[in-house]
Amino acid sequence: MFEFVYELFDLKMLLVTAFLGAAYMYCTWTHSHWSKMGVSSPSAPVPLFGHAMPSMLGRMHFMDVLHNLYRQLGDQRFGGIYTMRTPQLLVKDPELIGHILIKDFNNFTDRGLYAGTHTNPLNNNIFFTRGERWKTMRQKLSPTFTANKLKYMNEQVKECSDGLLSTIGKTVDEDAGRIEIREMMAKYSTDVIGSCAFGLKLDAINDPDSEFRKHGKNVFQPSLRSKIRVAVIFMQPSLLSIFRVHHYSHRTIRFFHDAFKQTIEYREKHNEDRKDFVQHLMKAREDLVLNPNLKPEEKFTEMDIVANAYILFIAGFETVSTSMSFCMYELALRKDVQDKVRKEILEVKSKYNGQMNSECLNELHYMGMVIKGKMNHITSRNNAPISNYGGGFRWKNEYPWCIIEVKSKHIPTVLKKIEKNGNFYAKPVFDQIDFFIWFSNFYKICQKRDNLQLVKDNLHGMICKVCEINDVRCHLGKFHGIFYRPEIYTLK
C-alpha cells in the first residue's frame, strides 16, 4: 500500500516537474536570440515578460520602459530587447535609423502590430495593412497630405473655428468665465476631423449627444476588457483570432460604415466635388474597389476604404485636442507668454486684413515655437512616438564599424530619446520662455530631405492644425484672457 502511494507521489512529482520545466522552456526559449547573434542586451530578460514586466504589471508606461532600456545601452548604437517572448532590435544610431526610415524602407513597410482584420474590419487601414496592399493604399492616400491639398481644407477648419468661438462666448457668459477646455477641444477637433474625413457637419461642440463624439471617446476609454486585450496582444496575439475577440462593437463598425456610405451617396447624387480627404477616398474606392480590371488579390473592399476614414478620424481628433489642451494650460500659467502670442497674432492678421490663411500661419514664428515646444514637452514622456517596424524580415547592411544582418519581428526606434542624447546631438537650446520651449538640432535634421523626412511631415501637419486652432483661441483672448483656476477642478 505504502509503495503504491510512494509511486503515485513520485509520478505526480515527475509530471509537475516536467510541466514546470516545459513552462520555463516556453517562457525563455526565445530569450537567447540576441546573445546567439552577438547583440548586447541592456539587462537579463524576465521569463515570459522579457523586458516588458513593469509595463505589463501596470507599474510603468511602456514608453518609459523603452527609455530606461535606451539609457542602459549606453553608447551602443543598438541593442536587443524582448517584449514578452518577442525579440526586438532597439535602434539608437541616427544613421541606422535613417536607413530604416528612408534608404532601406522597402524592407520595413510592416508595422508588426496585431490587426485581427477578420474580426475587426476597421483595422483594415493603412496603419495595420502590410506588404503590397500597404504600398498600394499609401500610394493612393499620400497625395492627400501635401501642403497644397491641406490648404483646400482651410475653409472647413475656419467654419468649425467660428462655431468654437460662438460656443466659448456662450459658455463664458453662462458659467462665470469657466471652461472645461479638454472636452471642448475634443468636441472641436471632432468637428474638424469629421468634416475633413467624412465630409459631415457634426456640430459636436453644441451637441452633447453627438454619436461621433461618443464613439471616438469610447476608443480611448480604458476598461478591464481593453487591458486584458492589450496583455494578450503582447503575450500571444493569435489567441485573439482563435477566440474572435472584437476591438470594436458591431454598433461602432456599422455606425462608421453607414456614415461614410451616406456621404458617398450624397456626393454622387448631387455631383459634389470637394477638395478634402473624403474625395480622395472616393477616388481610391473607384480605383481599388470598383475597378473591374483588377485581379482578385489586388481588389480592396468598401470596408477597407471606411477603415482608412475611421483611422484618420480617431488619430486626428485625439492628438489635436490633447495638444491644444496642454498648450492652453501652459498659456494660462504664463500670462506673459500668452500676451506675446496674442500680440504676434494680431500684428500678423492686420497685415492680411484680418484673414487667417497659410501665408499668415507661416509668419507666426513665436506661436509656432510655443506649439512645437509644448508638443515636444508632452510627447517626451508617456506619449513618446515610436517607429515600430516588423512582420518577420531579414535585412543586411554594411557599415564601417560593423556588418548588420538582422532577422527579427520588430525594430522599435525611440526618436524622442535620441534628440536628448549628447552622443548624437547637441543639448537642447532654451530661449527666454524655457518653461516649455525645447529646441535641439534634432528638428533641424528632421527638416532636411535626406534625414528622417517622415517625421518632419507628420510634425508639420500637426503643427498646422494646432496653429490654426490656437490662433482662434488667442484671438478670443483679446476680450477674455486665459487663466488657470485650480480651485474649480476636482481631483479623483
What's the mean pLDDT in 303-325?
Answer: 85
The residue among 260 and 405 whose pLDDT is bigger is 260
User: Can you tell me the mean pLDDT for 475-487?
Assistant: 44
Q: Is the pLDDT of residue 408 over 50?
A: no
Are the beta carbons of 454 and 431 closer than 8 angstroms? no
Q: Which residues contact 217 (CB under 8 A, 6 or more apart)?
A: 186
Q: Using an 8 Å Cβ cutoff, are 196 and 279 in contact?
A: no
What pLDDT does residue 377 have?
54
Taking 80 as the threshold, does the pLDDT of residue 346 lie above it? yes
Between 277-288 and 181-198, two packed helices, what is the crossing angle to 10 degrees? 40
Look at residue 109 and tell me whether its pLDDT is greater than 80: no
Residue 448: pLDDT above 70?
A: no
> How many CA atoms are closer than 13 Å to the CA of 300, on its beta-carbon side?
28
Q: Provide the sign of the torsion angle of the four alpha carbons 270, 271, 272, 278, taken in this order.
A: positive
Could you give the residue ranges of the DSSP H alpha helices within 73-130? Answer: 94-98
- Residue (of 168, 160, 255) closest to 216 by Cα position: 255
Pick the residue with more confidence: 291 or 42? 42
CA 149/CA 212 separation, integer angstroms: 25
Average pLDDT, the chain: 73
* DSSP letters spanning 436-465: T--B-HHHHHHTSTTS-HHHHHHHHHHHHH
Provide long-range contacts, Cβ within 8 A and 24+ apart, for 53-57.
Answer: 56/84, 56/231, 56/234
Task: Give the cell for residue 186.
Answer: 475634443
Residue 385's alpha-carbon distances to 67, 229, 394, in angstroms, are 12, 22, 24
Asked if the model's pLDDT at residue 60 lies above 60, the reply is: yes
Mean pLDDT score, 143-168: 81
Any long-range contacts for 432-437 (C-beta under 8 Å, 24+ apart)? 433/334, 433/337, 433/369, 433/370, 433/373, 435/330, 435/333, 435/334, 436/330, 436/370, 436/373, 436/374, 436/377, 437/369, 437/370, 437/372, 437/373
Q: Say which amino acid occupies 273.
A: D
Asked if 278 and 199 count as a contact pair (C-beta separation under 8 A), the reply is: yes
Q: Is the pTM of this model over 0.85?
A: no
- Map grid coordinates 482662434 to a residue: 472
pLDDT at position 489? 36
How confident is the model at residue 401, as a pLDDT?
A: 42
Percent of the chain beyond pLDDT 90? 3
Q: Which residue has the cell 522597402?
A: 106
- How many whole angstroms separate alpha carbon 277 and alpha carbon 305? 11
Rounded distance, CA 492 to CA 294, Å?
Answer: 56
Q: How far is CA 464 from CA 282, 312, 367, 459, in A?
A: 25, 16, 11, 9
Q: Which of 354, 409, 307 lies closest to 83, judged by CA?
A: 409
Is a pLDDT exceeding 60 seen at residue 491? Answer: no
User: Which overall architecture, per CATH, does domain 136-332 show?
Assistant: Orthogonal Bundle (1.10)
Residues 6+ apart with CB under 8 A from 325: 181, 182, 185
Specify the pLDDT at position 429. Answer: 37
**In the predicted structure, residue 135 carries a pLDDT above the cut 70:** yes
pLDDT bracket for residue 434 (50, 70, 90): very low
Mean pLDDT of 15-30: 89
Helix axes 181-198 and 250-270, enclosed angle (nearest 10) = 50
C-alpha 179 chain-centroid distance: 27
Q: What's the confidence (pLDDT) of residue 22?
A: 92
pLDDT of amino acid 1: 56
**199 or 4, greater pLDDT:** 199
> Alpha-carbon distance 442 to 324, whole Å?
23
Give, rounded to a whole angstrom, the gap between the first and last alpha carbons of the chain. 63
